[in-house]
Chain A
Amino acid sequence: MTFFEYAPAPESRSVVDVRPSYGLFVDGEFTDGQGAPLKTVNPATDEVLSEIAVGTDADVDRAVRAARRAFTRVWGPMRPADRGKYLFRIARLLQERAREFAVLETLDNGKPITESRDVDVPQAAAHFFYHAGWADKLEHVGLGAAPRPHGVAGQVIPWNFPLMMLAWKVAPALAAGNTVVLKPAETTPLTALLFAEVCQQADLPPGVVNIVTGAGDTGRAVVEHPDVDKVAFTGSTEVGKQIARSIAGTSKALTLELGGKAANIVFDDAPVDQAVEGIVRGIFFNQGHVCCAGSRLLVQESVHDEVVAALQRRIGTLRVGDPMDKNTDIGAINSPEQLARIRELVGIGEAEGAHLWQPDGDLPERGNWFKPTVFTDVSPAHRIARDEVFGPVLSVLTFRTPDEAVAKANNSLYGLSAGIWSEKGSRILSVANQLRAGVVWANTFNQFDPTSPFGGYKQSGHGREGGRIGLRAYLKES
């Protein structure tokens, strides 16, 4: 049912200069890693983009020592206003080089260029800009007249929003006066390494930010290093539990931002077209590689057929393919491993008796792809209603009363986010009040802002990122 064909509108990749190999960024310089290097691949084409150094325990130790030195000698004693100025510089540099970051992010991650351009990079810059202003106002965060930083922050981030997650971690840590050892995800290290260049251009003192690339072992070395004072992790609930266990008995502070299985609740009085746009944004944004994705659609029974029909019609117009094309709505799945996990859970969904629907159309031959998928006839006991798929897969369930909607929404080990669609204000506030979730989007979905605390209840982790509450995680009471 296409009225007009879209002509391809590819973003040029000439703006980026991907080096054939990258080292670790330690103490202000790129240095060799001692581990066997990894290759980072464009998930849309299977093209090897670059070879990435892998940090060993010894490399991590070197980075932590550099961070400790910088904390003790430079960053800790620095005038808070000057720390703020460095962060303002970084924010501006991110804006100046925004196009470069967006293209690089899309190449390495597979997300549509429109999303990296309009969400990831501007959000990253905004986080630095916001936290820059906090650096000389820490006495107002509510931890006494002279709150103190923890010291060295060890931070491990995921592959779904590589630069944005870096910003969520690094900006508050530095604003509070900590120094950082950051471990990017193994499949998406490139924007973090470009960020290292930004730190150099900003003349950020060596050792304040250290970036150690690698896989799980490198991350573990960062988390478990005895001289790390504060651990921040975004990733799976399983790894989050391992981290919580590994730091037990230490004095390390911890924040965890983990998985989710958000309920997106559509009441019978919701404007259907608006809700459908929100449902699409909730589950297909970033290929569904979003911890707060609205992956469980709870529709009031009386409007189920209408909503599902409208949703399928809308999904039929989504364009899956080349992430560098500005017309693309859904890009590539980030890795073959993630694709295999999505396929496995979708297979289980079919085997358990849910009804699968996908739009017509072909997928590119090379790269990792998965069609936007809707399961109907899903019961709350199905794996696809309980497990985080972390892909473009929506499970549709129904409810009759607001109480049933709340009970079903809260019937999850997770509690990261939720959505409510209704025109009735008092109902929205009542349901929002009863949902056990850290972020509730009413008549919208997947909105983020540095001033707005983000994080989960229950096994979605603890601690918040963003706002005054998020900043407090990087400070100790005076």
Chain B
Amino acid sequence: MSDRLAVRKTYKLYVGGTFPRSESGRTYEVADSRGRFVANAARASRKDARDAVVAARGAFGKWSGATAYNRGQVLYRVAEVMEGRAAQFADEVAAGEGLSATKARAAVDAAIDRWVWYAGWTDKLAAVLGGTNPVAGPYFDFSIPEPSGVVAVLAPQRSSLLGLVSVLAPVLATGCTAVVVSSLDRPLPAITLSEVLATSDVPGGVANLLTGDAVEIGPWLAEHADVDGIDLAGTSGAVAMELERSAAGTLKRVLRTTAEEPDWTADPGLHRMTPFLETKTVWHPIGL
């Protein structure tokens, strides 16, 4: 046992590919599942959320315009880097969620595999959700799915890594960019995931992670005119309803929350991607 004094980490936000503190200067204490102090995390503010939206909007053109193959490789690279951090993730998940080391490691493995699963979807969506349309006339007519734009993701409160990955990866796979608000009480895996994103090939601004309270930041994102969609997974009840009402003001695409946090190990299907995909249909005459 070494008597070396550990170098502790300062936990920060991840916005536009950089790690700022909250502009508000606010932090909050994060405790493990037994109530012991773990860290002071940044408590993101309205301004941080707005900065993150600007970063996400700025990154949207290039990310959505990348080839599906390229996007798939970039996302797969995230899984590769996660694998190297698996032990760190497992420690954080075990401490935060109060899981045994074995169960925590299983959750981390499932999260990495989930990321791989979504990475493989980027170049399949157009075939599964689009196609040519046999219209009754001399026209070539086809439909393709396209990403909606900037999506605010209120990550699950309980499942701090597998749940987080299960809501973030589908948004990125569609070609949308994301502003994520982490679990309030269990933010450490989100912070580590931002370090993974920063050291893989995901362009800055494509995924922005804010630690803090979705109840506080959610309303700003729900009404923000430059946010195109919102996943309410990390909220419930009256808060979720109020966010949905607010999102209606700019007709955002809304993915509703469920009464109980779902079993994140279940087969995800397409339903976390389809709400943030538009269908574009193009017509052209056929003739000489």
Q: Which of A142, A444, A469 contacts B283 (CB 8 A)?
A: A444
In the assembled complex, the Cα of A443 lies from the Cα of B140 at a distance in Å of: 11
Q: A241-B249, A449-B133, A467-B133 are in contact. Are A455 and B128 (CB under 8 A)?
A: no
Q: Give the size category of A's interface with B.
A: 35 or more
Chain A 412-449 interface residues, beta-carbon cutoff 8 Å to B: 428, 432, 435, 437-444, 447, 449
Q: Which of A245, A258, A444, A468 contacts B245 (CB 8 A)?
A: A245
- Is B137 close to A, CB under 8 A? yes
Cβ-defined contact, A477 with B136, below 8 A: no
Shortest distance between the CB of B142 and any CB in chain A (Å): 9
Cβ-defined contact, A451 with B281, below 8 A: no
Chain B 49-103 interface residues, beta-carbon cutoff 8 Å to A: none
- Is B38 close to A, CB under 8 A? no
Cβ-defined contact, B250 with A248, below 8 A: no
Q: Which of A126, A438, A458, A469 contacts B228 (CB 8 A)?
A: A458
Which chain A positions have C-beta within 8 A of B279? 438, 453, 455, 464, 469
Q: Which of B238, B247, B250, B282 has the most chain A CB within a 10 Å cutoff?
A: B282
Q: A245-B245, A443-B284, A464-B279 are in contact. Are A240 and B137 (CB under 8 A)?
A: no
Cβ-defined contact, A443 with B285, below 8 A: yes
Chain A 387-411 interface residues, beta-carbon cutoff 8 Å to B: none
- Is B185 close to A, CB under 8 A? no
Which chain B positions have C-beta within 8 A of A467? 133, 143
In the assembled complex, the Cα of A150 lies from the Cα of B282 at a distance in Å of: 30
- Is B269 close to A, CB under 8 A? yes
Q: Which of B139, B228, B244, B280 contacts A248 (CB 8 A)?
A: B244
Q: A244-B248, A459-B250, A461-B251 are in contact. Are A452 and B283 (CB under 8 A)?
A: yes
Cβ-defined contact, B251 with A248, below 8 A: no
In the assembled complex, the Cα of A468 lies from the Cα of B244 at a distance in Å of: 27
- Is B148 close to A, CB under 8 A? yes
In the assembled complex, the Cα of A453 lies from the Cα of B133 at a distance in Å of: 8
In the assembled complex, the Cα of A477 lies from the Cα of B242 at a distance in Å of: 26
- Is A249 close to B, CB under 8 A? yes
Q: Which of A237, A249, A449, A468 contacts B141 (CB 8 A)?
A: A449
Cβ-defined contact, B135 with A469, below 8 A: no
- Is A164 close to B, CB under 8 A? no
Shortest distance between the CB of A278 and any CB in chain B (Å): 10
Cβ-defined contact, A457 with B278, below 8 A: yes
Nearest opposing residue in chain A for B245, CB measure: A248
- Is A70 close to B, CB under 8 A? no
- Is A462 close to B, CB under 8 A? yes
Cβ-defined contact, B248 with A245, below 8 A: yes
In the assembled complex, the Cα of A251 lies from the Cα of B258 at a distance in Å of: 10
Shortest distance between the CB of A51 and any CB in chain B (Å): 36
Nearest opposing residue in chain A for B275, CB measure: A462
Chain B 232-251 interface residues, beta-carbon cutoff 8 Å to A: 238, 240-242, 244-245, 247-251
Q: Which of A240, A242, A442, A468 contacts B284 (CB 8 A)?
A: A442
Chain B 106-141 interface residues, beta-carbon cutoff 8 Å to A: 128-129, 131, 133-137, 139, 141
Cβ-defined contact, B281 with A452, below 8 A: yes
Which chain B positions have C-beta within 8 A of A441? 282-283
- Is A134 close to B, CB under 8 A? no
Cβ-defined contact, B285 with A444, below 8 A: yes
Cβ-defined contact, A462 with B253, below 8 A: yes
- Is B8 close to A, CB under 8 A? no
- Is B271 close to A, CB under 8 A? yes
Q: Which of B228, B242, B284 contacts A428 (CB 8 A)?
A: B284
Cβ-defined contact, B245 with A469, below 8 A: no
- Is A454 close to B, CB under 8 A? yes
- Is A256 close to B, CB under 8 A? yes
Which chain B positions have C-beta within 8 A of A440? 280-283
Which chain B positions have C-beta within 8 A of A142? 128-129, 270
In the assembled complex, the Cα of A74 lies from the Cα of B105 at a distance in Å of: 51
Q: A444-B284, A457-B278, A464-B279 are in contact. Are A237 and B134 (CB under 8 A)?
A: no
Which chain B positions have C-beta within 8 A of A451? 133-136, 141
Nearest opposing residue in chain A for B240, CB measure: A249
Q: Which of B143, B251, B283 contacts A256 (CB 8 A)?
A: B251
Chain B 141-168 interface residues, beta-carbon cutoff 8 Å to A: 141, 143, 148
Shortest distance between the CB of B125 and any CB in chain A (Å): 11
Which chain B positions have C-beta within 8 A of A240? 251
State the 9 A-B residue pairs at the shortest beta-carbon distance, nearest first: A249-B241, A244-B248, A248-B244, A449-B135, A245-B248, A248-B245, A452-B133, A451-B133, A442-B284
Given A144-B269, A245-B248, A451-B135; 14 other pairs, CB 8 A cutoff: A142-B128, A241-B248, A241-B249, A244-B248, A248-B245, A249-B241, A432-B282, A439-B282, A449-B141, A452-B133, A457-B148, A459-B250, A467-B133, A469-B129
Q: List 20 A-B contacts (CB under 8 A).
A: A248-B242, A249-B238, A256-B251, A428-B284, A437-B280, A438-B278, A438-B279, A442-B283, A447-B135, A447-B137, A447-B283, A449-B133, A449-B141, A451-B133, A453-B143, A458-B228, A459-B250, A462-B253, A464-B279, A477-B269
